Homo-oligomer: A and B are copies of this chain.
């Protein structure tokens, strides 16, 4: 695994050996300061490390000052078209500003942006999207165009004496995203923000984002992640991202509920019980493994490495911890007994 340069975004380090951070983007009207700060607080509570806010106009820019001042998370400003705007966002207190090389034309002001970022200690994300690539890249294969564009822009900032860049290359296609990031990782020095763009509705988005990010993260590629989902509840993005990192062994602050897929041998309502336990334990930021098994065939074995397990029986079920049977309980008492034991585990 190649380590990338460390870039500081407020109190969060991206790159080097730093833990992979999780971020999302508000979808309120940014000039509605109250609504935007409420959403930022929700993301913070859900476990986000960073938050991005779109700044499309002067009204949003005025609001940004107030948002930055009251946000519990470092704020990244998302800008397009104009580096003037990016400069003003940094002046407003954004700890990182996203610029899109594909649609930002007045590159003459790049030196001014660099100067302002250096003065204020702000970082820059060079965010390339397959939907807004410059004409000079149009003839390359899509993944190569994305990687080359990010690399060329990284060099512009490097030549201007600026090293605090984070790169991203996003497409709505899994294969293009994986290939572009693999290629960029080989040639860039900056840390990578990885994610799919326009991933889609909840189910499509979870599948696409997980498919692309998992392949990259398992290869050691990526320093900060965003799972983009089009859902009514923005915190879905944070929950899914945190779970993915935990399941890949890259985070240890998530409760993992495993459950058998049920079959003809199943004696209890595994799906309902597992869902109830998952919902009751999601807020707990500890690494605890809980297994819900419908029968004893695979159950006792599969519970072997779980901190807490249940193997369903006809009227009574076994409660197991790391291979040891603790007690036999009536099926109707399973949920309260399990939750009592979870609480005991947390106290330990």
Closest Cβ neighbor of A142 among chain B residues: B305
Contact partners of A130 in chain B: CB under 8 A? 301-302
Contact partners of A240 in chain B: CB under 8 A? 203, 207
In the bound complex, what is the Cα–Cα distance between A133 and B305 (angstroms)?
A: 13
Given contacts A203-B240, A258-B172, A261-B228, contact A248 B211 (CB under 8 A): yes
Within 8 A of B (CB), among A249-271: 249, 256-266, 270-271
Q: Cβ of B263 and Cβ of A25 under 8 Å apart?
A: yes
Stretch from A27-35, A113-121, A186-194, A339-347 at the B interface:
A27-35
Total copies of this chain within the assembly:
2
A247 at the interface (CB under 8 A from B): yes
Q: Cβ of B207 and Cβ of A206 under 8 Å apart?
A: yes
How distant is A133 from chain B, measured CB to nearest CB, in Å? Answer: 8
A86 at the interface (CB under 8 A from B): no
Q: Cβ of A28 and Cβ of B264 under 8 Å apart?
A: yes
Contact partners of A258 in chain B: CB under 8 A? 172, 198-200, 204
A224 at the interface (CB under 8 A from B): no
Closest Cβ neighbor of A32 among chain B residues: B264
Closest Cβ neighbor of A304 among chain B residues: B131
Q: Cβ of B25 and Cβ of A230 under 8 Å apart?
A: no
Q: Type the 1/0 row for A223-240, where 1 means its CB is closer than 8 Å to any CB of B.
A: 000001111100001011
Q: Please pick, from B29, B218, B298, the residue contacting A215 in the complex, using a CB distance under 8 A.
A: B218
Contact partners of A301 in chain B: CB under 8 A? 129-133
Q: Looking at chain A's contact residues, is the secondary structure mostly helix, strand, loop, or mixed?
A: mixed
- Using A172-B302, A197-B302 as known contacts, list a sample of 16 further A-B pairs with CB atoms less than 8 Å apart, ordered by residue number in A: A27-B262, A27-B264, A27-B266, A30-B264, A54-B264, A56-B265, A129-B301, A129-B302, A175-B218, A198-B291, A199-B261, A200-B257, A206-B206, A207-B243, A215-B218, A230-B292
Could you list which residues of chain A lie within 8 angstroms of chain B, going by C-beta atoms?
25-31, 53-56, 60, 78, 80, 103, 129-133, 172, 174-175, 178, 197-208, 210-212, 214-215, 218, 228-232, 237, 239-240, 243-244, 247-249, 256-266, 270-271, 274-275, 278, 291-293, 297-304
Across the A-B interface, the 8 shortest Cβ-Cβ residue pairs: A131-B301, A131-B302, A211-B214, A228-B261, A54-B264, A230-B259, A210-B210, A54-B263
A-B contact pairs, 17 of them (CB 8 A): A27-B261, A55-B264, A60-B264, A129-B302, A130-B301, A172-B291, A174-B249, A175-B249, A198-B260, A198-B261, A198-B293, A199-B261, A201-B257, A203-B278, A207-B243, A215-B218, A230-B274
